[in-house]
A and B are shown apart, each in its own frame.
Chain A
């Protein structure tokens, strides 16, 4: 874009042509008054305070709607402007009841500041506010409140709901002086299309919209704001925890312009952190005595843990111990945990729930590209010409990423192709929806590639110069014409062809996927297929393209990066390679095993079979998260010694011998690595409950009692050690990521991080095509179990509900689980919505209410695994992908009966 010279109050400024003048002014330190401006929104021009005078054009003009052009010269303050602003403010005050003395925002309110600056009297014109609080659309809800007496009708809430969130839940209602913010037909917000993201609350300039829980809990100006990284999904939103005078979290705000979320959050990020102050938090170590726990001192608990682990190691050998690390915890904790297992247990039996989500990604993409991470960056999704979302319910599971896609589509910048067995919300705006049967992805992708090759839409230059093994892949693909895929997937062949053309024709196309691809016995195959298709069309190694697995947990990327896997040290350095082993033996000062360790499922089986006697579970809840729960519980009960380290007494902790109380992300410093490989800080914001400690400190305590001599004083010190031994993190330090996180690979202190992987050259050199043949799912429906069960998450809850079900708002919105079933199946079974049904598989059964919805395809039902009352994983099958060892959460045979 061309640069132009403009002048503001006599100061010469160079800025991009067409830039928003208000934005340029703010960036250059000019304080133009504004109330309706939010840099994320299209210009509104409603408050009329940002008027300026323009050279050569009479009258006054709003700077928020002005675009920079060569020679533009404006004056932002003059007697004339002041007089007009004063009059306008005085008018606004007749609509906004100035109750500053009792307002949370007193002293941190632009309206108040401007009134002072321009000498506007709040009572020059009599109030037109209708007295008394009338009922409005926020009644009955627990999250968001609306005080019409403070509303200045700036439309920021309405526009952010429409333009950014895409929820379109609120609108202006009425005309002229009767305008209020309202839902369509004045329905309750809780009945509307509102997603409770609270974006409206965050952008409201006057406090008319407010978080109900924060009302009266402290003035904004007295609140301490601590920047942190959200601990829900892998998007890694930057949030500000607002801490009141009593040291407690009052509310969460977010700042526009900050990477990666630009001030946006979802309902979990905005309202889902009240769990940190819950009374049920663990405050003291617990030691099992019979059927109950008793509180113990740290020394007693840690001594016991160290003694028992050491005893097992002596008696049963090193191989009888294993540890599960945590994708919820920070990089530093994961690094210490794997270091602990490798140096103190003396084996590589370390794994975590990445095994259950993206093990197939790591395996597949590493084979194809040489790196198992998301190839591109979140920011690019605002401008990607085509996005192919497959097996990702993005708007629910990576909501802020989802709204980015939604916005790009709404703005006409992006064509959206969705493949999903369910009519997920993105299908509402997609250009095409391929509703494939669960487990048929390889056939679908192969058939798309068949079309691309058949119609010569592939990128032969890219294939020739950047890849290898094309021919074998082509041979496999040519066995799978769209007509075959139609039979397997249920997607009409013509639709498959049209989708293939759409994908191949795009200037650049990005594949976005998640658990729908990975959680299959063919998970690695699925990932390889997607990698094949991206390479086939030259869509790797450039911006607005790539293969982009969305990582589900806040730090699942980091936990993998830190070597929380049985086959690799930090930075994916293979344990079986002598040079890697030697490097870490030197760094850690102990001999290490070169034998890859056990995976999550193998560990569970090991515990069940008695091979593994001692297990250290840190920040995981396998009782609810692992497939075939009944087996998991049986196994864990057999462990000689089970240590669980967590912030709550989880379903898994209840089975432990020792429970160690950890601090939450709000009570200590550390880093998470988000889905786009960005290493970001979280920070201590509130006091920790009781005697809880940071995870790394607890693990260090155990390690030192088992013979280590570790002296870490802070998480920052641990990061320095990580950087020293992990080439992709080589340039990371707390100092460098204070404001904005860095994306790995970041090999040295000067390196600015890497937004797009595989540019010019794949991590493994040449991209490798893999021939992939379609294989059916492990357990096919039959007469006894005629439906396919697929599982996943929902917007308001998180994993096993340890945190979200302890949040007033989140649990308040969705207090219980439902099984989604198609009208056709429900009709046949005589089920209507809210009927209680029995859902059973060969492994177990649950009782749950039905949600009959046309978002489901006939023959497929859907459950979330958040609810312990109706645990989906009591039903799922522990059949594993042979390479990645990921279980097939996404497809098993199931029976549904009316209760």
Chain B
């Protein structure tokens, strides 16, 4: 009997951790109980992207988009939507202020274009058949039977694809370097060591569509003449690893991976290498060293991995998102891909949109989309009526961009021209409650931990910058500190060995540039306008506003707020740890920060 409905359950890490698997099982159970098992197919898919509202369940062909679903909602979904053909209104996503649900009106998706994430949220990532049904491995077939290596390179060059790991190097050019070298052994490596704080583009791609990366790597092997490949993935991504392993096994069973692929004389196989969570191993030379079993430290380039990479052999290395683009570029052609994006940056870019934003989640937009569109149209703006302050792109390597730059189109060159960078796709939005000294400190703290310690400017500079920022956040900053940070920042930018050190001062330098006034307030007035720098703030309770609801007293982790019910409360300043829990929990604006 033909299946009437598809029920898609998000199986991304975020939704899984919010009982996604229980929802899936409940749906199966309910379908069984209600006797409709044969009428539907329940599929656990990859990430839908709209993580803010997860767990998400989608029912096709009705296009019912259910958000914040709980396992106990399964009964209604089956009984109403499947059995009776009526959408479950209470679970449907509705735009703010709207009472009606219209699938085409979900603003979160309206400006998105899914190329990389084309299968995420649509297919079962553990089923190669579903991947193939969506034209999967068509690109490989074309690469094996129709195209010469040069023609593959030509398509890539036509597509204008640039590396999505952050640096934006033209992928076709990179491959061509390896392709034209004569060597007894070449390798294809996938950098899945995603490490920017808040970024999860690659994880979602691998969890939702592992075959897209595998297919691309086989195509790369065919193109450059490599027969071995490795996916270097951080061990903290167990679900992605599991799905990759399943996908690799399936590909081997189907003769798509291993010896004599699809009956040709081309052989290629892959293995997974686990990273131990060092951010620097996302730097390609450090990553290769780590695969070789060495300490993950970058080495100076040139030679580039394209010429001398893994075990000294020519190596193609790209990140997950770059690879995920390639099967469709090959199957649909470079020209098709080049229709999207801007002159210098073709295609789309996936971002992990987080921070002070209503619709946090994973988004994919055509290059050239402006920051404003992302923050306010897709992201839905800033929650709780707060004011937008800045957006950080490029993670610990990027910079903060103020409102003045909101109309900057997202592409590799524009972002650099305004003092930030594309990076791998982390995008964090800040509002007026965020202190920019604190933001800079956060990123430096990350780099202090993650610098490999090899070159002097990065090893020592990150630590020194952090120390100075700490001092400033404690109100102990001196005016000379600004110059010290600029000097050090320059030394790090210019003289560090690898990208980590060269970009590590960017968050600080961009804060000094865009928010100098706020930094000076910390130094000169001992004031943190956002109330984030604990040493500079004091929390107190406005007697006139406090209604004595006791929420703050209950939230206070050190029990330093006292007061009877319905009587204004008081904070014991000597014990307050300035965590801000009272401020955040008060619904009456009675907690003051000064």
Query: Is A687's CB within 8 Å of the partner chain B?
Result: no
- For B495, the closest partner residue in chain A by CB is A48
A-B contacts besides A45-B455, A174-B453, A176-B452, 18 pairs, CB < 8 Å: A46-B454, A46-B497, A47-B456, A51-B494, A59-B494, A67-B302, A84-B495, A87-B488, A88-B456, A88-B495, A91-B456, A125-B484, A126-B467, A128-B464, A175-B450, A176-B447, A176-B451, A176-B462
Q: Which residues of B contact A65 (CB under 8 A)?
A: 300
**7 closest pairs, A vs B, by CB?**
A179-B453, A87-B491, A176-B451, A65-B300, A177-B463, A45-B300, A91-B460
For residue A394, CB closer than 8 A to chain B, the reply is: no
Which of A47, A125, A176 contacts B448 (CB under 8 A)?
A: A176
Q: Nearest A residue to B447 by beta-carbon distance?
A: A176
A59 partner residues in chain B, CB cutoff 8 A: 494
Least Cβ distance of B509 to chain A in Å? 14
A490 at the interface (CB under 8 A from B): no
Closest to A92 in B: B456
Do the beta carbons of B449 and A176 come within 8 Å of each other?
yes
* The one of B448, B452, B461 that contacts A91, using a Cβ cutoff of 8 Å: B461
Given A45-B299, A176-B448, A155 contacting B454 (CB threshold 8 A): yes
Smallest CB separation, A74 vs chain B (Å): 15
B456 touches A175 (CB 8 A): no
Would you list which residues of chain B between 425 and 469 have a CB under 8 Å from chain A? 447-464, 467
Q: Closest CB-CB distance, A49 to chain B, in whole Å?
A: 8
B: residues with CB less than 8 A from A are 278, 280, 295, 297, 299-300, 302, 447-464, 467, 484, 487-488, 490-491, 494-497
- Chain A, residue nearest B296 (CB): A175
Chain B CB within 8 A of A99 CB: no
How far is A83 from B488 in the complex, measured between Cα atoms in Å? 10
Binary B-proximity of A17-54 (CB < 8 A = 1, otherwise 0): 00000000000000000000000000111111001000
Q: Which residue of A lies closest to B311 (CB)?
A: A412
Across the interface, do B491 and A172 meet the contact criterion of CB distance under 8 Å? no
Give the distance to chain B from A804, nearest Cβ to Cβ, in Å. Answer: 35
Closest chain B residue to A176, Cβ basis: B451
In the complex, chain B residues whose CB is within 8 Å of the CB of A153: 453-454, 456, 459
What chain A residues lie within 8 Å of B461 (beta carbons)? 91
16 contacts between A and B (CB under 8 A): A48-B457, A62-B300, A88-B456, A88-B457, A91-B488, A94-B460, A175-B450, A175-B452, A176-B448, A176-B453, A176-B462, A176-B463, A177-B451, A177-B460, A177-B463, A179-B453
> A138-174 interface mask toward B, CB cutoff 8 Å, 1 = contact, 0 = none?
0000000000000011010000000000000001101
A420 close to B (CB within 8 Å): no
Q: Which residues of A contact B456 (CB under 8 A)?
A: 46-48, 88, 91-92, 95, 152-153
Query: Do residues B453 and A91 form an inter-chain contact, with CB atoms below 8 A?
Result: no
* Chain B min CB distance to A61 (Å): 9
A476–B226 Cα distance when bound, in Å, is 50
Of chain B, the residue at the smallest CB distance from A89 is B456
Tell me, in angstroms, the Cα distance from A125 to B467 when the chains sit together: 10
CA of A137 to CA of B504, assembled, Å: 32
Residue A124 at the chain B interface, CB threshold 8 Å: yes
Kindly state the separation between the CA atoms of A486 and B135 in the bound complex, as whole angstroms: 62
Q: Which residue of B278, B448, B463, B494 contacts A84 across the interface (Cβ within 8 Å)?
A: B494
CB of A178 within 8 Å of the partner chain: yes
| A402 to B: closest C-beta gap in Å | 23
Q: Across the interface, which residues of A come within 8 angstroms of B484, CB to CB?
A: 124-125
Using a CB-CB cutoff of 8 Å, which residues 797-833 of chain A contact chain B?
none
Chain B residues with Cβ below 8 Å from A84 are: 490-491, 494-495
| Number of residue pairs A-B, CB distance < 8 angstroms | 109
> In the complex, are the beta carbons of A91 and B491 less than 8 A apart?
yes
The winner among A47, A87, A171, A176 for most chain B CB atoms within 10 A is A176
Q: Which B residues lie within 8 Å of A128 (CB)?
A: 460, 463-464, 467
A→B interface (CB under 8 Å): 43-48, 51, 59-60, 62, 65, 67, 83-84, 87-88, 91-92, 94-95, 124-126, 128, 152-153, 155, 171-172, 174-179
Q: Would you give the shortest CB distance from A56 to chain B, in whole angstroms?
A: 15
Evaluate contact between B455 and A46: CB separation under 8 angstroms.
Answer: yes
Minimal Cβ-Cβ distance residue in B for A177: B463
Q: Which residues of A contact B451 (CB under 8 A)?
A: 175-177
Task: Kindly list chain B residues whose C-beta atoms are within 8 Å of the C-beta of A174.
Answer: 453
A92-B460 CB under 8 A given contacts A60-B495, A84-B495, A153-B453: yes
Task: Tell which of B449, B464, B497 touches A45, judged by Cβ atoms closer than 8 Å.
Answer: B497
CB distance from A721 to the nearest CB of B (A): 54
* Whole-angstrom CA separation of A155 from B454 in the bound complex: 8
Measured in the bound complex, the distance between the Cα atoms of B464 and A95 in whole Å is 10
Q: Which residues on A sit within 8 Å (CB–CB) of B463?
A: 128, 176-177
Which of B278, B448, B487 gathers the greatest number of chain A CB atoms within 10 Å?
B487
Find chain B residues with CB under 8 A from A48 CB.
455-457, 495-497
Closest to B452 in A: A175
CA distance in complex: A47, B459 (Å) = 10
Q: Is the CB of A172 within 8 A of B494?
A: no
Are B491 and A176 neighbours in the complex by a CB distance under 8 Å? no
Chain A's nearest CB lies how many Å from the CB of B351?
Answer: 28
Report the minimal beta-carbon distance from B370 to chain A, rounded to whole angstroms. 29
A51 — which chain B residues lie within 8 A by C-beta? 494-495
How far apart are the CA atoms of A83 and B493 in the complex, in Å? 13
Q: Which residues of A contact B280 (CB under 8 A)?
A: 175
A43, B464: Cβ atoms under 8 Å?
no
A758 to chain B, nearest CB (A): 35
* Distance of A84 Cα from B456 Cα, bound (Å): 12
Check A47 against B455 for contact (C-beta < 8 Å): yes
Interchain CA distance A95-B463 in the complex, whole Å: 10
Are A87 and B487 neighbours in the complex by a CB distance under 8 Å? yes
Query: For A92, what are the chain B residues with a Cβ–Cβ distance below 8 Å?
Result: 456, 460
With a 10 A CB-CB cut-off, give which of B299, B455, B467, B484 has the most chain A CB atoms.
B455
Smallest Cβ-Cβ distance to B497: which chain A residue:
A45
A177 touches B462 (CB 8 A): yes
Whole-angstrom distance between the Cβ of A616 and the nearest chain B Cβ:
58
A88 to B487, CA, bound (A): 9
Known interface pairs A45-B300, A87-B487; A177-B448 also in contact (CB < 8 Å) = yes
User: Are B459 and A94 interface neighbours, CB within 8 A?
Assistant: no
Is A176's CB under 8 angstroms from B457's CB?
Answer: no
Q: Contacts A46-B497, A171-B295: A87 and B490 contacting too (C-beta < 8 A)?
A: yes
The interface residues of chain B lying within 8 Å CB-to-CB of A155 are 454
- In the complex the two chains form, what is the Cα distance from A171 to B453 in whole Å? 12
CB distance from B363 to the nearest CB of A (A): 32
Residues of B within 8 A of A83 (CB): 487, 490
Q: Which residues of B contact A45 (CB under 8 A)?
A: 299-300, 455, 497
Closest Cβ of chain B: how far from A47's Cβ, in Å? 5
Residue of B nearest to A152 (CB): B456
Set of chain A residues within 8 Å of B497, measured between Cβ atoms: 45-46, 48, 62
Closest Cβ of chain B to A551, distance in Å, is 36
Q: How far is the CA of A92 from the CA of B450 in the complex (A)?
A: 19
Closest chain B residue, CB of each to CB of A51 = B495
Most B CB within 10 A of own CB, among A43, A67, A177: A177
Tell which of B278, B457, B491 has the most Cβ of chain A within 10 Å.
B491
Measured CB to CB, the closest approach of chain A to B487, in angstroms, equals 5
Bound CA span A838–B580, Å: 78
Report A-chain residues with C-beta under 8 Å of the C-beta of B447.
176
- CA A46 to CA B451, docked complex, whole Å: 13
Q: Give bound CA distance, A47 to B495, whole Å.
A: 9
CB <8 Å contact, A91 and B457: yes
A840 to chain B, nearest CB (A): 47
Specify the chain B residue showing the minimal Cβ separation from A80.
B494
Nearest Cβ in chain B — how far from A257, in angstroms? 23
Select the residue from B451, B459, B496 with max chain A CB neighbours within 10 A. B459
Asked if A91 and B300 sit within 8 Å, CB to CB, the answer is no
A594 vs B300: C-alpha distance in the bound complex, in angstroms?
Answer: 68
How distant is the Cα of A60 from the Cα of B494 in the complex, in angstroms? Answer: 6
Question: Which has the most chain A C-beta neighbours within 10 Å: B278, B450, B457, B462?
Answer: B457
Contact status B460-A95, CB under 8 Å: yes
B460–A175 contact, CB under 8 A?
Answer: no
Nearest residue (CB) in A for B500 is A176
